[in-house]
Structure 1
Amino acid sequence: NTIKIAFFDSLLISQSTTPSLSLLNSGIIVKFLAVSLGFILISRLNRPFLFIFAYCFQLLYMFANLSYHIASEGYLHITQYFGLFSETMELVRHSAVPANNSSGFLFMDTLLFIAVVFLYKDINFINKKFVFKKALVVFACSLVFFAYKWQSVEARERPTAILNDRYSCDNNVVHKYGLLAFNIVDILNLKDANNRIKRINYGREINGIASDSAKPCIVMIQVESMDSYIVKTKHNNEWVAPFLHSLTKKCIYYPYVLSFHKAGSTSDCEFSVINGIEPFDDYPAMKLRDYNYPNSLVKPLKAAGYEAVAFHGNRGTYFNRNIALKKMGFNMFYDMQAMNLPEQGWGASDGDVFDFTMDKLKSLQKPFFCYIITMSSHEPFTLVNSYYTNNRYNDIKDKATANYFRAFSYVDGQLKRFVDHITKEYKNSYIFIYGDHTPPIENGNGYKRASFTNNNELYEFVPLFLITPMGTIYEEKFSAAMFTDFSATVLPSSKINFKINSPGRDLTVFPHDSNRISYLDEKFSRNELFKLIRR
């Protein structure tokens, strides 16, 4: 078990996806003492179910943290364990938890665990008669030694100081003291929702004045796991997503948009896009209880006569969307159950959602604001297998890459069908198509996702296609956009009176200056970000 913990720690503090032998010695004595003490204390009690519970809890704790680290290259905060519990159970139920082959080491001590369960009574007897008192002496001496060593640690090097230092990162605490210490410090630093709300940076005030021209309809399509590189990816000399690639020459195209993908996972996308603000590092922003989304772009649209509707092929309780989206101002939110759509794999298919949306839009008064969140290209990228077949990618050795390409081949076709319908039936419309985050595919094993790491933080990039009623064509070749630009673009395009705050800029106005933007307590110029991610 000590070796398993050492393997686990080595994966969390290295950039590799396999355990590092060079890191196994890090704190190995402390790990051994901690495991031994825990085992001796538990086995002294004649309660084998406590031992079984402790082992299973450790297994689940390691698997959850390893899966999250593989997907986001970050670490789970305590608030996420509780805030995202229901979402995690949904992922597990549909086998959509990001993982890799290296997680097999978690079961390296399973046979020993089974043996201990069968021999528990004998171990309990030996513990009480021969081991317990001697072990307490050893641990007491060890505790005195570590307390003495702790005094020599400078205050600025202690975990609470490192985690609270805005210039340090979570990785520094995990690397120096381990994940458990990181979680303990996290508990000590728990802040209530009001303090989180007070930390929100809304940016500068932006005003708009209504024009006499007809207000356009606005359609926003948030595409699951669509990153920047998939748009220009070929397999056997054919585009994986031919429709999306064709749009790069037919509309306003931003190849690199900085994705806000933090504690709220995929829901951070709509939180940022709709509200024009950055989500939280340590808590799912969509689950704030006492927050009324004062900066939501939906509210001024509704005040100007827009009917606002949202559609998603998953359950509305996932990420609290059924509550949060209504607070943001939507007249109606149609989840899979409200649309009465069959579940296929996990959630409804994008094709079914688009069909329902097209039918529902016929009954809405114009202008309308329509927000769609797709589902079919969700990891593990096999959801489409029950309703879509494409053998073009069977020759790809990396299964995750093959599945991702196949899923996007389906999504691309459905997007074309839906966009063609909107442009034909609602000519005075703005259509935004963009990804929420990159796919959790390991770099080097096939597809390379559009991301880079800076100070142990992952920066992810997605594309934006903006189709305008005027047929504007523009490709940004020097500057990155970000999610907080969207509200600063949607509202001016709607030609209504509005007043919001935003650190973003209007993406329909070019050329752009390379102003500095902030993300994860780092500042970059937009040009710098573009150069770092450009391929």
Structure 2
Amino acid sequence: MLNNFYGRVSNAFKNKPYRKAVIVSAILIILNAFKTTLFNYLMLPKTGGDTLGYKFWISLLVCVIVFSFVLSLKSRYVFLIVYIIQGIYCFTNISYFLYYHSYLHFLQWISLFKEAMISASHFANPISVQLLVVFIDVPVALYIFFKCFKREVKSTRLPFLRNAIIGLSVAILLVIEIFNFANGQSVVQFMDDRYSGETRIVERYGTVVNGIVNIVQNNTEEKLINQFNYGKNISSPSSVTTSKSTSQQPNYVVIQVESMDSNIVKQKYKDSYVMPYLSSLMDNSVYYPYTLSYHKGGGTSDAEFSVINSVETLDSFPAIKLSSYSYPNSVVSKLAKASYNTMAFHGNVGTFYNRNIAFSKMGFKKFYDISSMNYDDEGWGAPDDKVFSFAFEKIEKSTTPFYTHIITMTSHGPFESARHYYNNKAYDDIENEIVRNYYNSFSYVDKSIKDFVEKIQAKYSNTYIIIYGDHTPNVNSQDFAQASFIEGDKYFEFVPMFLLTPDHKKYKEDSFVASFLDVSPTILATSNLSYNVKTDGKSLLDTEITPANIPFKGGSFDRSWLFNTISNHKYVEEEPLWRKYLPSFISSSLIERHK
């Protein structure tokens, strides 16, 4: 039997086209394993050479199994489909990680597919040289597609050799996993830790296994909903009753500003503030320079979700898309039950993040998107000043106290929408296009907010106005660096928070960061209503009270530590990829000398 096998193998390799196909296939498997290794390596916080080597050998064994089977099917189109699927998977995962610094999960990917396609059509997804990793083996793959599925190659079949190679690779992987389990390094042991366990799984097994583990752990909405941690229960003072007249109840305007991070409101260009109005509020409002953003599995929607419901959002799924969630902690619902006119406005389509469904369940009596406002896309979405004007018209028609939640759109990345209707020539000489457009966008946004806020204050003096950013803009350069830092496997983003009160209170926090969880307690504490709410936040007006820690990705973080860390953080340009990923035995000085 063995003699027959060796004879068949020997005869097969005498066939020159087949021999060439085998050699090229082996090269593809090695290159693909290298690509897969770098793909996973790019998404690990800090990893040494030992881990890189381990990942390469594991990836090589997996690639041997997958491509041995795929190529044995003798179909160039099956091969092409598998290869394209892998490429899309790697590309989207790297792009997601570059923006969110967390892992994209399969269920999350499916849920956000529509949003991802719309974002891609507006070129809003991050572009980086790291994405070139996906194309490392493209030339070899194309060669195989066009040259290695010809009749003289397809006619040669060695199923025993294929099965032996696959079986041996599987056996080696099983032995490695037995050793992993014995040393406490198995996926079975990692999967119980929802946060740090993810990094360990990606480190040892890759993102695909991590995605499978996530499906096992979060395959029902009930499991996801049970992950919400609402914090302690707080209530209104006993002196407050629900019998007070609505005339004593203040109005609320909440403005959530797209991509406004903590640093842009303090940023100057040629000695002038990019946002002169909001920068003036630093000394004329209750101002928290740094507010920890929840920017996780639900992207931008995590901001309004956590603000309104005073709860940390989910890591692996957009919380706003939980169809069976009833929003029991929503501050909007509490105000709506107290006869407030609750309205939301957004210059994007209402189906984006299912806001048209979720906002109603949160307690909004009316949600106006770009369609219901009868506006057209100008760039991406309706211009902010038009949305503010529409919102003001609806506010004027309100006969009861109102809660108005406005989500801006113009300053969404890649920050080109404002160019359709606004251009501040002061920034035309900035070479970095992203920074130039970012400054121009926020120059426009600042003016739009100023006009709207001044109209509200002039006509509705008994109104609390809260202005905050949703997340950082993913802009880091020598010209402008966002307010964010990485600690271990956690990525912290910071946005500003302004609170304008009817009595024009002034306060500037210089020791603690605020939290999205603080907005709901602030509103309820000033509402003159009887209330109960579960929260880890506190009223932004209670400036004498030491605030509790902020829950974030399985940890609990001291607000003063966060403040000190981000306020002292300095942008450092990332080292070149060749220096970061080439083996250490290649002299960096030699490379520098020949650059």
TM-score scaled by structure 1?
A: 0.94
Deviations 1:27-79 (A, max 9, x none): 32332343343233223334332222212211111111101110011111222
Write the mapping of 1:477-516 to structure 2, written as runs, cut at 5 A. Answer: 477-516=510-549
Of 392-401 and 55-64, the range deviating more from structure 2:
392-401
Whether contact under 8 Å (2:468, 2:496) holds in the other structure is yes
> Which residue of structure 2 aligns with residue 402 of structure 1?
436
CA distances 1:194-230 after superposition (whole Å, capped 9, x unpaired): 1222332222222222456621110000001111111
Question: Are residues 131 and 355 of structure 1, via their aligned partners in 2, closer, same or farther at CA, if it must alter by over 3 Å?
Answer: farther
After TM superposition, the structure 1 = structure 2 runs for residues 108-507 of structure 1, keeping only pairs within 5 Å, are: 108-122=136-150, 126=153, 129-154=156-181, 156-166=184-194, 168-208=196-236, 209-210=240-241, 214-441=248-475, 443-507=476-540
SS in 1 for 2:542: coil
% identity of equivalent residues = 37
Q: Is the 8 A contact 1:439 1:449 kept in 2?
A: yes
Residues 429-464 of structure 1, C-alpha deviation per residue, up to 9 Å, x if partnerless?
Answer: 1100001111112x4554221112222111111111
Other structure's SS at 2:533 match: strand
Tell me the amino acid that sits aligned with residue 529 of structure 1: L
Shifted more, 236-245 versus 196-205: the winner is 196-205
Corresponding residue SS for 1:152: helix
Q: Indicate yes or no: 2:95 matched with 1:67.
A: yes
Unmatched segments (≥5 aa) in structure 2: 1-31, 569-595
Larger of the two Rg values belongs to structure: 2
Q: Does the CA contact (< 8 Å) of 2:37 and 2:56 recur in 1?
A: yes
| Worse-matched range after superposition: 154-163 or 347-356 | 154-163
Amino acid at match of 1:236: K
Amino acid in the other structure paired with 1:257: T
More divergent stretch after superposition (137-146 vs 216-225): 137-146
1:120 CA displacement? 4.8
Distance apart, 1:126 and its partner CA: 2.5
Alpha-carbon distance in 1 for matches of 2:118, 2:133: 24
TM-superposed deviation, 1:276: 0.9
Runs of 4+ residues over 6 Å off in structure 1 = 20-23
Deviation, 1:365, is 1.7
Which one-letter code corresponds to 1:333 in the other structure? F
Quick one: which of 56, 62, 67 aligns to 1:39? 67
Q: Structure 1 residue 130: deviation in Å?
A: 4.8
Number of equivalent positions? 530
- Could you tell me how far 1:374 is from its partner in structure 2? 0.6
Sort the Cα spacing of 1:207 and 1:33 in 2 relative to 1 into closer, same or farther, 3 A.
closer
Residues of 2 paired with 1:445 and 1:13: CA distance?
A: 25
Using the TM superposition, give the Cα deviation of residue 312 of structure 1 relative to its aligned residue in structure 2, in angstroms: 0.4
Report the secondary structure of 2:345's partner residue: strand
Q: Which residue of 1 aligns with 2:44?
A: 13
> What is the alpha-carbon distance in structure 2 between the residues aligned to residue 168 and residue 111 of structure 1?
37
What letter corresponds to residue 334 of structure 1 in structure 2? Y
AA partner of residue 100 (structure 2) = S
Per the TM alignment, residue 477 of structure 1 is displaced from its structure 2 partner at its CA by 1.0
Q: Give me the whole-angstrom Cα distance separating, in 2, the residues matched to 1:2 and 1:149.
A: 17
Do the aligned residues in 2 keep the contact of 1:43 with 1:120 (CA within 8 Å)? no
Q: C-alpha separation between the residues in 2 aligned to 1:229 and 1:341?
A: 31
Does the residue aligned with 1:4 lie in a helix, a strand or coil? helix
CA RMSD of aligned residues (A): 2.2
CA distance in structure 2 between the aligned counterparts of 1:371 and 1:530, rounded to whole angstroms? 27
Which residue identity does 1:6 align to in structure 2?
T
Q: 1:103 aligns with which of 121, 127, 131?
A: 131
Give, as a single letter, the amino acid of the residue that structure 2 aligns with 1:194.
Answer: E
Q: Following TM superposition, by how much is the alpha carbon of 1:255 offset from its aligned partner in structure 2, in angstroms?
A: 0.8
Cα displacement (A) at 1:386: 1.6
Structure 1 residues 187 and 202: CA distance shift in structure 2, 3 A: closer
Aligned partner letter, 1:84: L
CA contact (8 A) 2:195 2:554 kept: yes
Report the alpha carbon displacement of residue 377 of structure 1 after superposing the two structures with TM: 0.9
The separation in 2 between residues aligned to 1:391 and 1:332, in whole angstroms, is: 38
Post-superposition Cα deviations, 1:389-433, rounded to whole Å, max 9, x if no partner, equal 123333334332222222111111111111111111211111000
Contact in 2 for aligned 1:207/1:500 (Cα 8 Å) = yes
Distance 1:45 1:25 in 2: 31
| Aligned mates of 1:520, 1:354 — CA distance in 2 | 34
In 2, Cα distance between the equivalents of 1:429 and 1:526?
28
Segment of structure 1 superposing worse, 494-503 or 432-441: 494-503
2:84 is aligned with 1:56: yes
Code of the aligned partner of 1:7: L
Q: Could you state the TM-score of these two structures normalised by the residue count of structure 2?
A: 0.84
> CA separation in 1, counterparts of 2:478 and 2:139?
31
- Conserved? CA contact 1:220–1:431, under 8 Å: yes
Q: Which moved more, 1:259-268 or 1:127-136?
A: 127-136
Greater RCO (Cα-Cα under 8 Å, separation 6 or more): 1
Judged with a 3 Å threshold, the aligned counterparts in structure 2 of structure 1 residues 130 and 106 are, in CA distance, closer, same or farther, namely: same
Q: Deviations over 1:72-125 (max 9, x none)?
A: 111112221122111111111221112213213322333333333322532x75
Q: Are the structure 2 counterparts of residues 153 and 236 from structure 1 closer, same or farther at C-alpha, using a change threshold of 3 Å?
A: same
